[in-house]
Chains A and B, each alone.
Chain A
Amino acid sequence: MAGATRPGDRPISPFVSIWRWHVTMASSILHRVTGVGLYGGMLLLCGWLMVIAAGPEAYEPFGAFLAGPIGQVGLYLLVACFAYHLANGIRHLVFDTGHGMKPSDAETTAWFAILFAIAAPIGLWALVTFGG
């Protein structure tokens, strides 16, 4: 056949292992990852409440951990996880109504959720550190 492409150049079926990475894929995976992270965060919050109820001596090492570098970075990451899960959760609630499913819209909102997750913890950190 004239003009036929060689077999190697033909489009092939979108097999999973060679599929291009989409931001919508990343947004879906991140939703799960941040959800699992927040699971840990809730266990931490509940542990925090219990050691506070147990008294100042019991709270001492827990408070020192939270105030230390690992605790502070952990809290920062939890805020980032929360911001992402919140933004992407709203996105999914909108999807449930049947809106925003056009590929270009879904990609735009996925980027928004990711950027919000980067901006929100920085904003909150700045507000806590420099705010009144």
Chain B
Amino acid sequence: MSKDKSTPLGRVRNHGAAAEGTGHFVGQRVSAIALLFVATWFVLSAALSMDGPTYLAAIDFISQPFNAVGLILLIMVALYHMRLGMGEVVNDYVHKPFAKMALLLLNTLVPLVIAAGAIFAVLLVNFGV
């Protein structure tokens, strides 16, 4: 028996089940479990250790090695998780093909650009001149 349940015509048109839902499901949950710890740590740690949103408090926070590693982890995992979640929202509510494709593309590219910028920022605060 063939593993592919779509009809030959469906396969030709490349429609029907994409057979990649499991990866999305697992990725969403694995990143959720990681964020239970990383994001909770960040919210509590940032709120309790920084004395207001001042420049010096921020530099102090980011330049501690533990916090820097935590921030980089948070950026990577949270942006991955939110990209999956927002992709689901776009797929559910946006039906016009062009708008949907454009939003899904933005939803992939914006987190990538933001992640590169934010991770570089953490490194710059720690190792920059």
Q: Are A39 and B82 in contact (CB under 8 A)?
A: yes
Restricting to A72-122, which residues have a CB under 8 Å from any CB of B? 79, 82, 86, 89-90, 92-93, 96
User: In the complex, which residues of chain A have a beta carbon less than 8 angstroms from the beta carbon of B86?
Assistant: 35-36, 39
A-B pairs with CB below 8 Å: how many?
Answer: 88
User: In the complex, which residues of chain B have a beta carbon less than 8 angstroms from the beta carbon of A49?
Assistant: 62, 71, 75, 117-118, 121-122, 125
Q: Are A46 and B118 in contact (CB under 8 A)?
A: yes
If A89-B32, A93-B33 touch, whether A50 touches B117 (CB-CB below 8 Å) is: yes
Partner of B58, one of A38, A48, A82: A48
Q: Are A50 and B121 in contact (CB under 8 A)?
A: yes
CB of A84, distance to nearest CB on chain B (Å): 12
User: In the complex, which residues of chain A have a beta carbon less than 8 angstroms from the beta carbon of B115?
Assistant: 46
User: In the complex, which residues of chain A have a beta carbon less than 8 angstroms from the beta carbon of B122?
Assistant: 49, 53
Interface residues of A: mostly helix, strand, loop or mixed?
Answer: helix
CB of B31, distance to nearest CB on chain A (Å): 10
Q: Are B120 and A38 in contact (CB under 8 A)?
A: no
Most chain A CB neighbours (cut-off 10 Å) among B62, B115, B121, B122: B121
If A82-B43, A127-B48 touch, whether A66 touches B121 (CB-CB below 8 Å) is: no
User: In the complex, which residues of chain A have a beta carbon less than 8 angstroms from the beta carbon of B58?
Assistant: 48, 52, 59
Count residues on chain B whose CB falls below 8 Å from chain A CBs. Answer: 38
Q: Is A131 an interface position by the 8 A CB rule?
A: yes
If A49-B118, A49-B121, A124-B47 touch, whether A67 touches B53 (CB-CB below 8 Å) is: yes
CB of A107, distance to nearest CB on chain B (Å): 22
Q: Are B29 and A93 in contact (CB under 8 A)?
A: yes
Could you show 23 A-B contacts with beta carbons less than 8 Å apart?
A32-B89, A35-B89, A38-B82, A42-B78, A43-B114, A45-B75, A45-B118, A46-B114, A46-B115, A49-B62, A49-B75, A49-B125, A56-B55, A59-B55, A66-B53, A67-B53, A79-B43, A86-B36, A89-B35, A90-B36, A93-B32, A93-B33, A128-B47
B interface, CB within 8 angstroms of A: 29, 32-33, 35-36, 39-40, 43-44, 47-48, 52-55, 58-59, 62, 71, 74-75, 78-79, 82, 85-86, 89, 110, 114-115, 117-118, 120-122, 124-125, 128
A interface, CB within 8 angstroms of B: 32, 35-36, 38-39, 42-43, 45-46, 48-50, 52-53, 56, 59-60, 63, 66-67, 71, 79, 82, 86, 89-90, 92-93, 96, 124, 127-128, 131
The 3 closest A-B pairs by CB, nearest first: A53-B121, A46-B118, A66-B53
